[in-house]
Amino acid sequence: MCEILNTFDTFSEDIVNRVKKALELEKYKIRDDDEAVKIAYKLFADRLTDFYWHVVDSEFAKEARRFDQNLYEESGLRYDDYRLGRYRGLLFETLIDALVRDRFQGNGKQYETGCEMRVNGSLILARYGDGNSQHKRTLDIVGWDEEMHYGEFYECKVNPKRFENPNYLFFMEIKKALDADSRTRYILALVSADATRNLRAQKEWLEEEDPTCNIDFELIGREDIFGISQYAIPEIA
C-alpha cells in the first residue's frame, strides 16, 4: 500500500500501468490455496485503481469545488496533481486511523482526526514566519485515555519532506504541554509511507536549518506501520 501511494504522485497513464504491474507482482506472494485472500486482494487492487481515476477526473474536481469553494481555491484542486496529492494523503490518514481508533473507544477516552488540541483547556498552536499571522494548530490523529493519562498523537505524511518547520514547531508545543504533567505518557510520532531512514533525514535537515528544533519524537516509516496496531494502552501510565 505504501509503495503504491508513493508511486501515485502524478497524473499519468504510465503511472497507472506501473502500479498495476506492482500489484500483479504482490499478488504472486499469496499462497495458491488461499482463495479468500486472493479475492480480497483483487478487490483492493481494483478499488485502488478506481480511486486514482476518480480523483483525477474533471467531474470529481467539480464536486470538490461545489463542496468547498475556499478549499478548492486554496489547495489548487483544479489541478490534477494537486488533487491527487491531497486525496492520497487522506487515504494514508485513513489507513493509520484504522490502526489506532479502536484503542480509544469507550468511557473516558477521546479520539479525533484532523483536530485542534487543548491541554487543560489551553489551545496548542505553533506560530511561524514573520509576525503572528501564520500558525499551525491541527494534528491528523489524536487519541487520549483520561484515566490512564495516556495519549497517541500522529502526523501523517505520504512524503516525509512534507513534514516542514511549522510541523516540527507544533510537535515542540505539543511535547512541552504534555510534559508539564509528570503523570502523562504518550506517543508523539511522524508516520510516513516512506522508509524510516528518509524520515530521519528530514528530521535532521530541519534541525540543521533551525537550531531551535531539537526534540525527540517517534519516526514510523512504512516498514513499521503495521506495528501501530499492536500498541496497547499501559495499565499504569
What's the pLDDT band for 133 if we cut at 50, 70, 90?
A: confident
- Answer left, alpha or beta for residue 114, where phi above 0 means left and psi between -120 and 50 means alpha: left
Do both 127 and 30 map to the same domain? no
Do both 12 and 74 map to the same domain? yes
Could you list the residue range(s) of the whole structural domain that residue 174 is in?
98-230
Do both 80 and 55 map to the same domain? yes
Q: Is the pLDDT of residue 199 over 70?
A: yes
The neighbour count for residue 123, using CB atoms within 10 Å, is 10
- Answer left, alpha or beta for residue 106, where phi above 0 means left and psi between -120 and 50 means alpha: left
What's the pLDDT band for 236 if we cut at 50, 70, 90?
A: low
Which of 75, 92, 109 lies at the terminal end of a domain, its last residue? Answer: 92
Query: What residues contact residue 134 under an 8 Å CB cut-off, 6+ apart?
Result: 127, 128, 166
pLDDT for the residue 17? 79
Which of 92, 116, 151 lies at the terminal end of a domain, its last residue? Answer: 92
Q: Are 103 and 136 in contact, with CB atoms under 8 Å apart?
A: no
Which grid cell is 110? 477521546
Q: Is the pLDDT of residue 201 over 70?
A: yes
Does residue 236 fall inside a structural domain? no
pLDDT for the residue 50? 86
In the chain, the number of structural domains is 2
What's the pLDDT band for 1 if we cut at 50, 70, 90?
A: low
Q: Which has the closest alpha carbon to 143: 104, 171, 115?
A: 104
Q: Is the pLDDT of residue 237 over 60?
A: no
Do both 26 and 43 map to the same domain? yes
Does residue 155 fall inside a structural domain? yes
Residue keyed to cell 518547520:
165
Does residue 235 fall inside a structural domain? no
Do both 153 and 176 map to the same domain? yes
Strand partners, 122: 119
Q: Is the pLDDT of residue 112 over 60?
A: yes
Q: Is the pLDDT of residue 212 over 90?
A: yes
Higher pLDDT, 8 or 149: 149
Q: Is the pLDDT of residue 207 over 80?
A: yes
Do both 108 and 214 map to the same domain? yes
Do both 133 and 67 map to the same domain? no
Which of 92, 124, 147 lies at the terminal end of a domain, its last residue? Answer: 92
Distance CA 122, CA 177 (A): 9
Q: Which CATH number is 217's domain given?
A: 3.40.1350
Do both 135 and 45 map to the same domain? no
Q: Compute CA 116 distance to the chain's CA centroid, rounded to the nearest angstrom.
A: 15
